[in-house]
Structures are given as C-alpha cells and as structure tokens.
Amino acid sequence: AKPAILISRKIFPDVVEHLRQHFEVDHNDTDGVLAPAQLIERLQGKVGALTTGSERIDGAIVQAAPSLRIVANIAVGYNNFDVPALSSAGVLATNTPDVLTETTADFGFALLMATARRLTESEHFLRAGQWNRWALDMFAGAEVHGSTLGILGMGRIGQAIARRGALGFGMKVIYHNRSRLDAATEAECKASYVDKATLLREADHLILVLPYSKESHHAIGAAEIAQMKSSATLVNIARGGIVDDAALAKALKERRIAAAGLDVFEGEPSVHPDLLTVPNIVLTPHIASATIQTRRAMAMLAADNVIDYLTTGKPRTPLNADIIGKGART
Ligand code: GLV
Ligand code: GLV
C-alpha cells in the first residue's frame, strides 16, 4: 500500500491528483478547520501533512502523531508552526516562499492605493445612494506617486514592493529591517535603510511586511502610531498581531493618522469590532496571495515538498533542513 498523508483543508483537485500518484490521500474537503483533537486523530498513520495557517502545529500535535515525518505549510509565513518543537521531534517543516512574492507585492500596492485614495469608503457612499452631486474636495485622499514609502520588513516581498514604489510610482523608498540589505540589493530596489524611528516619522505610507514572532508582536502600537505623520496611511499585509488593532482603531477614530488598510488581524477570522466602525479603513480577509495561479502554485509547492522529501529525502523549501540525517524521523 502507498504511504498515507493528510491534506488539512480543501485544495485544488489537480494538486490532490498529483499527490495521489504517490500517496493514499485523506483530504479534508469539507473544509472545516480541524480542531487539535481532530487533527491528531486524522494524522494517525500519516507520514506527511499539508497544512495552512489555520492549524497550529506544535510539539503536542507531532508527539501525538508518531508516524508524521513532514508538515508542509501552504503559506510563506509559518508562525502557526513551532519549528523548534518540530525539529526536536524530528519532523521536517516546509513553507512556500518565492512563488507568492510578486502577487503579494501587487496586493500590498493595491491595498496601499485603496487606502490612500479612499476607494472602499467612497464606494460605500455611492452604493448607499448618498452621491447626489460632485464636489471638489469629495473623498480627497493622499498622494501616492512621489511620496515617501516606508517598508517595515525587507524580505523578498518588501523588496518587490520597493521596486513597484520606486520604479512605477517615483516614490522615495525607505525601509527598516532586522538586518540591512547589501548595497547591491538596496541599489536594485532603490531603497534606503533607516532606523525605526526615522521610518515612522518620515513615511507618508507605511507598509508592514515582516514575519510575526514574539519580537514583532505589537511592533506597531499606540507609541509607534504617535510618531507617524497625521497624514500617513498604514498598511498591514504581514500578520495579525504585528499591529495592536485596538490601539489602531482608537488612533483612526481620533484621526492621529489618516487611514489604514488591513489584510490580516489579531485573532482572525475575528476582527476587532472597533475596526469595523471606523470609516477611514480598508479591510480584506487575508487575500494578499490570492490569485488562482499563485494559490495553485503554493499548494503545488507544498505537495512537491512532501513528495520530494518522502521519495528522495530532498525537500524544496525546508525550514529545518538541519535535522535531515540528524534526528529526522525515518
Ligand atoms: C499568507 O499569509 C502566507 O503566509 O503565505
Ligand atoms: C517573507 O518571508 C518574504 O518573502 O518576504
């Protein structure tokens, strides 16, 4: 019999077929999110699993699933994984970098522009039948071209956003990151490194593209928002919890900054109720990588990680490759 794997959520049928060539596939195609106890039950006898950000995979899960050798996240972010615990248990972890970089950067720009130019706020006004005459200052927003774009977190996606801003919109691009880019990369994306205080103070539009961790928890809270321009916009396409959503809602109500665009939320899919009542905000349900091509490419890369690791021992995009041959389950 073929070895068995679990796919935790509904994914594209062609990706499931690709996996079926190698494995018995248990596919949660009802698409309900499996609670930890259900997940453990479904992982019994499975050598691999494809998961999403909706499932938390920690030491307790992998210890209760002793046959599991690889967990392949269908996401670039992997804060839903306890990677050190997976490594200790000998379970390989993979994510989906690169395939979503440009698509996610496109969305970051879409959200930035929608926020700066008050796209959804004005659409709601029109749909509500409130548009009875044109006015010179109606929904006047903030300039995007030629303004200063601040990027917090300068990985692949941050760099792709920088190129869009500098080359497409003539923006001055400044960034802050744990580590500074090398000079050639800075020159290629026309971005200048600044400290965090300068980034907050000088950005007309601040976009967050850093991974979530204990260190980045509430990287943007009341104190940081207070340092921003009152005309600034803030965009979060990274992870919920990087922004203190309650502090942001308060700041938007008090017009301490002009507007915000959020694709990710603390405790999503719940959204802080105060965010839902402020007008100067654009809210989307964690869709930054959501094009048909890219979501399929992410699922296919996760599938290929499982296939390659279990058939050749060589995963494509591992997070803890150091365990291979040194404690990895066999
Ligand atoms: C989506 O948020 C991802 O991490 O890919
Ligand atoms: C995230 O890891 C990125 O690709 O920027």
What is the dihedral sign for C-alpha 115, 141, 121, 167?
A: negative
Report residue 23 as tokens: 């494995």
CA distance 31 to 203: 40
For the sheet containing 233-236, what is the strand order?
191-193, 172-176, 148-152, 205-208, 233-236, 259-262, 281-283
Query: Catalytic residue at 268?
Result: yes
What residues does 93 pair with on adjacent strands? 71
Q: What share of the chain is helix, strand, coil (3-state, %, to 5)?
A: 40, 15, 45
| Residues with a CB atom less than 6 Å from ligand 1 | 53, 75-77, 100, 289
Query: Catalytic residue at 239?
Result: yes
Which mutation among 78, 151, 154, 157 tests ligand 2's pocket best, with the greatest number of atoms within 8 A of CB? Answer: 157
156 Cβ inside 6 Å of ligand 2: yes
pLDDT tens-digit readout, 295-330:
999 999 999 999 999 999 999 999 999 999 999 999
pLDDT tens-digit readout, 120-160:
999 999 999 999 999 999 999 999 999 999 999 999 999 99
- Entry pTM: 0.96
Distance (Å) from CA 262 to ligand 1 centroid: 14
Backbone angles phi, psi at 154, to 5 degrees: -120, 55
Distance (Å) from CA 76 to ligand 1 centroid: 5
Nearest CA-CA partner of 44 in 17, 62, 21, 27? 62
Quote ipTM for the complex: 0.72
Q: What is the pLDDT of residue 213?
A: 96
Same fold, 4-98+292-323 and 101-283: yes
* β strands within 120-204, DSSP E: 148-152, 172-176, 191-193
103 Cβ inside 6 Å of ligand 2: no
Domain range summary for the chain, segments of one domain joined by +: 4-98+292-323, 101-283
Distance (Å) from CA 129 to ligand 1 centroid: 37
Q: Any idea which fold 101-283 has?
A: Rossmann fold (3.40.50)
CA distance 294 to 195: 33
4-98+292-323 is classed CATH 3.30.2130.10:
no
